[in-house]
Every structure is written in structure tokens, then in C-alpha cells.
Amino acid sequence: MAQTVSIIVRSEDRVRLAAVVADRNRPQKHVLRARIILLSADKLPVADVARQAEVSRPAVWRWQRRFAEEGVDGLLRDKTRKPGKAPLSLEIIAKVLALPCTEPPGEGTHWTGRMVAKAVGISLSAVQRLWDANRLQPHRLRTFKKSNDPAFAAKVEDVVGLYMNPPAHAVVVSIDEKSQIQALDRTQPGLPLKPGKCATMTHDYKRNGTTTLFAALNILDGTVIGRCMPKHTHKEFIKFLNAVERAVPAGKLIHAIADNYATHKHPKVKEWLADHPRWVFHFTPTSASWLNAVEGFFSIITRRRIRRGVFKSVSDLQDAIRRYIKEHNRSSKPFVWTKPAKAILAKLSRLPAPSE
């Protein structure tokens, strides 16, 4: 294409173009095209026109040719474009939404976006848009287990009743142990978090031993009594019960919520309870650890202090756990359980019956 183009602009066209440039209500694309033609009418080289109009040289050539063929009216309208792809039919949309809810072909465990796109004959992005709009997430999986405890309902009502209506002149504690907490040391120091880059940590580590955290969460004020011990047998559990016994003021009953771990029902533990009549144990149903409030504290301390921690020894790990518990107790809040037992039982009734 020629580098210098001479176009002829009649006086009446120049007036119209000037009016377009001066009209503040005109679309900017019309103003730009009119400026290109007015600059070209002054016999300026294409490079100068492009520089002053702040466009490319092919753009200058394009609008010069349009003006030569169609005049000013050609600058003020856009040519029609080729029609895009037709929208997806309702049948295809229904198939895209139905396939993830069926068994996948072959040995696959679930439908992927590419599998659906190939089966239906559309693009992966189209499948993803439809799934997002209809909140379909075949890649996600949530686990569950329904308790087969014959006294499930009675135990749920008992435990939830203690959470929502604790007895007067008594202390309600949720007791459990988090065993086999590893004191892991990284093989190389990681890099801290900074804008644009996440924190780093080596994938390999050095094991420096383990500890077991026994914890009792006070439902009334949210404080935690914690003890780190090397094992989690009945002997350590009794030592921990003695620690809780010393921490609770005399004259108050202690209602302890615990799971069905064998240590909690050991004959020696039963003997200890017989010697301490103010203690009353309430066991959660089997396979229902989510009813034990202290599990929430274990989750928090794991995420905020243990998982990313670097510990040179077991004593370092235990010191870190003790410091975290002290910090937690300084700003603790009462534990609040909001779901009544009837609502829990109604929701769990929709799950399939557990297999024996």
C-alpha cells in the first residue's frame, strides 16, 4: 500500500468534518475518523497523520479508503460484522448440566470439564461457564459418616443440651487429646510472604519426635486447660484429669464431654471417677467427633501454630503450644452452640442408613 495518499475533500465535506470534530456529544470514534481525514486533506504524510491522531498507519489508510469510497457518511457508520457463533441450544445446555450427575465412562471417578466438552462437542470454556452459572462443582468432594450408635439421638440431645443450657453451679468442659503432633524441622529456611509471592517452605523435613496435647475447653468462658505429654494412655489421661480438677474451683460440679476413645473408659479412669464424685462424663455418639467442642480448638491451633511451625525439638513444640494456649486464654470468648438437637437429627435423617 502506498505510503503517501492524496485525498480530495470538498468544501462542504470539510465543513461537516469540522462540525463532527467540534461536536462534544459525538462518539470519540467518529471524532477520530474525522480528524484523520482533515489531517490527510492538508497533504500531510501518512506517518505524520498517524502520529498526530495517535493511531497506526494501517488505521489511517483504512479510513482514507472508506472516505474515498463512501464519503463522510461512511465514517459515521460501522460496517456489519460476520455473525458470531450461535448460542448453545437448550438440549446441549441440559446435557452439560446432566452429565456430571451421572456415572463417568471407563474407570474415571468423576466427570471433568474436558470430558464433558468432548462428549457434548463444545469448548471447555463453555462448559465451565455453564457449571459456574449453575453452581456445579464435580471436582469437589465432601466426606461424611453417619453414626450407627443405637443411642445416637439421646447422646446428641444430652451433649447439645449441655452446650445450649449448661446447668447452674457447674462447669462444662469438652475434653480430648490431639496425639502424635510432630516436631518438624525444615531442611532449609523458607522465604517470607511479600507482594506478588507467597511464603515458601521446603517439602521435606526432619522429624524430631512427637507429643500429645490433652486439652479441656471450658464452655462458659472459652478458656483452655492444656497439657503436653509423651503418650496418650490412661495414665496420662488421669494426670490430665487431676490438672483439670485442681483448676476448677471447689464446690462446682464438672460435666465433661468426651469421645469414645478406649482410654476414656479404662477401668483405672472409672476408678478415678468413682473417687471424684463431682465429675460426670457425657460421651458423644460413635463416629460423631464433630459434637466435641474442643475439636474446633485443635483445628485452630493446627492451622495457626503447628502446621507451618518449625521446631528443632519436642520441647520447642511444647513451648510453642503452651504459649499459644496462654495467648488464646487472654482473649477467649464463651463457646456458643447455635444448632438445636432437633435440627441436627432432622438433617442427619436425610443421610442413607449406615452399613453394618
Dist CA 50 CA 48 (whole Å): 5
pLDDT of residue 242: 95
Write the DSSP string, 65-111: HHHHHHHHHHHTSPPPPPP-PPPPPHHHHHHHHHGGGSPPSTT-SS-
d(CA 193, CA 200): 8
Radius of gyration of the chain from its Cα atoms, rounded to whole angstroms: 37
Same domain, 329 and 235: yes
Q: Which three cell numbers stand for residue 195?
A: 507482594
Q: Which domain holds residue 121?
A: 90-133
Whether 66 and 180 map to the same domain: the answer is no
Mean pLDDT of the chain: 90
Q: Is residue 294 part of a domain?
A: yes
pTM as predicted: 0.69
CATH of the domain at 312: 3.30.420.10
Same structural domain, 189 and 230: yes
Domain count for the chain = 3
Q: Do 179 and 276 sit in the same domain of this protein?
A: yes
Whether residue 172 sits in one domain with residue 203: yes
One domain, residues 20 and 95: no
CA-wise closest residue to 293 among 262, 257, 244, 241? 257
At 51, is the secondary structure helix, strand, or coil?
helix
Cell of 254: 464438672
Residues 222 and 336 in one domain: yes
In angstroms, the Cα distances linking 198 to 190, 201, 302, 342 are 11, 10, 20, 44
Domain-terminating residue out of 27, 44, 75: 75
Q: Judge if 53 and 102 occupy the same domain.
A: no
Classify residue 194: in a domain, yes or no. yes
Please report whether residue 81 resides in a domain: no
E strands, the chain, in order: 170-186, 205-218, 224-229, 253-258, 279-283
- Based on the domain organization, do 67 and 117 belong to the same domain? no
Cell 464463651 maps to which residue?
334
Does residue 3 sit within a domain?
no
Beta bridge partners of 185: 206
User: Is residue 356 in a domain?
Assistant: no
Per residue of the chain (356 residues), what is the pLDDT tens digit? 445 556 788 888 888 889 988 988 889 999 999 899 988 888 888 888 899 989 999 999 988 888 888 888 888 888 777 777 788 999 999 999 999 999 998 888 999 999 999 999 999 999 999 999 999 999 999 887 888 888 999 999 999 999 999 998 899 999 999 999 999 999 998 888 999 889 999 999 999 999 999 999 999 999 999 999 999 999 999 999 999 999 999 889 999 999 999 999 999 999 999 999 999 999 999 988 889 999 999 999 999 999 999 999 999 999 999 999 999 999 999 999 998 999 888 888 777 665 55
Residue 143 lies in a domain: no
Bridging pattern class, strands 253-258 and 170-186: parallel
Residues 189 and 261 in one domain: yes
Question: pLDDT digit string (tens) for 264-278?
Answer: 999 999 999 999 999
Q: Domain ends where: 25, 40, 75? A: 75
**Domain limit, last residue, from 32, 52, 75:** 75
Query: In this structure, what CATH number is given to the domain that contains residue 71?
Result: 1.10.10
Residue 110 lies in a domain: yes
In terms of DSSP bridges, do strands 205-218 and 170-186 run parallel, antiparallel, or are they unpaired? Answer: antiparallel
Inter-axis angle of helices 341-348 and 152-164, nearest 10:
140
Q: Are 237 and 263 in contact (CB under 8 A)?
A: yes
Same domain, 116 and 186: no
Q: 145 in a domain, yes or no?
A: no
Paired with 116 in beta bridges are: none
Indicate if 197 and 304 belong to the same structural domain.
yes
